[in-house]
Structure 1
Amino acid sequence: MTQGASQFSFGKRARQALILSLALAGASVASAQQAPAGLDKAMTAAAKWVGQADANQADAMWKASSSTMQKNVSQADWGKYIATLRSQLGASQGRSWVGVSKVDNPQGLPSGEYLNVIYATKYANGMTVETVSMAKDSSNWQPVGYIVRKQQPQASAAPNNVAPKPAAADPGKK
């Protein structure tokens, strides 16, 4: 299973959309910011989007996304990306919202206000951290990216005379 969405094999435009999302995910965030206007709408839109991903409704996700994402990833490539994610992760077994970070004017994206809505999600094949990046247009929040990273288990201390087990092979690597 792959550790990050960037390791999935799909088209150039899909990689560009992920780069945009990674730019948001890695952007610095001021710690004392007020909640952005319409936060509840952003949270609702993000929750709907991950629900569509769970239902393998990639076309509906793409149609609901921002024009920035649509310019950077084709609908067909988005469909392949979501199908690949779902086949590797298995069925969603539960999702918990864990946080939101506000990002203003991230590098590599049009100027504006952005949010990362972050979930801890259990899938049949493991735990993940999902990040839905949202962009604010004139009055609404729209998805602009989606990254799923496998959550690594906490390393436990092994007794001195017992070697730790090797990490499982990543079938996504060649």
Structure 2
Amino acid sequence: MLLDEGRADLTWLPAGSALKASTSESNWVKGISGLRTGVGEFKHRNHAQISFTREMPDAPPGLYAAVQIQSSFSNLEVVEVVLLVEEDDQWRVVGYNISKNIQLKAAIPLL
């Protein structure tokens, strides 16, 4: 994955037209790079879950796929969500997000 290689800059060209209409290349690259801040080096991915829909809020009608992937990085376990749209007989990225699973450890025993 381009993001794992630190190449967020290469994700813009193949992105979907809805993404390109909603933001600039520099904002997209800064945004997805920022989401990766603090997670550390990529280790592995497990358990992908895919759901499909023909309607998305604030987006043109089309066939969309939301791919949720449990991912492991050196500093954190996360759930990555990649939103794709079928466009020109290809799946193109129109969104990306990370849910960081933060686990708090008690410094003192709780009674």
> Which runs of structure 2 are paired with 1:97-116 in the superposition (5 Å)?
97-116=47-66
Change (3 A) 1:63 1:138: closer
How far apart are the structure 2 equivalents of 1:132 and 1:53? Answer: 12
Residue 81 of structure 1 aligns to which amino acid in structure 2? G
Per-residue deviation, residues 68-99 of structure 1 (Å, max 9, x unmatched): 10111211112212332333211111112421
1:141 corresponds to 2:91: yes
1:79 corresponds to 2:26: no
Match of 2:110 among 151, 154, 163: 163
Where does residue 65 of structure 1 map in the other structure?
15
Residue 74 of structure 2 aligns to which amino acid in structure 1? A
How far apart are the structure 1 equivalents of 2:75 and 2:59? Answer: 33
Runs of 4+ in 1 over 3 A off after TM superposition: none
Under a length normalisation based on structure 1, what TM-score does the superposition of the two structures give? Answer: 0.57
> Which runs of structure 2 are paired with 1:111-126 in the superposition (5 Å)?
111-126=61-76
Change (3 A) 1:98 1:58: same
Give the share of equivalent positions with the same residue, in percent.
26
Q: Which has the higher helix share?
A: 1
How far apart are the structure 1 equivalents of 2:59 and 2:53? Answer: 11
Where does residue 91 of structure 1 map in the other structure?
41
Where does residue 2 of structure 2 map in the other structure?
52
Contact 1:112 1:135 in 2 (8 A): yes
Contact 1:102 1:114 in 2 (8 A): yes
Under a length normalisation based on structure 2, what TM-score does the superposition of the two structures give? Answer: 0.85
> Which runs of structure 2 are paired with 1:13-24 in the superposition (5 Å)?
none
User: 5+ unaligned residues in a row in structure 1: which ranges?
Assistant: 1-50, 165-174
Q: Which has the higher strand share?
A: 2
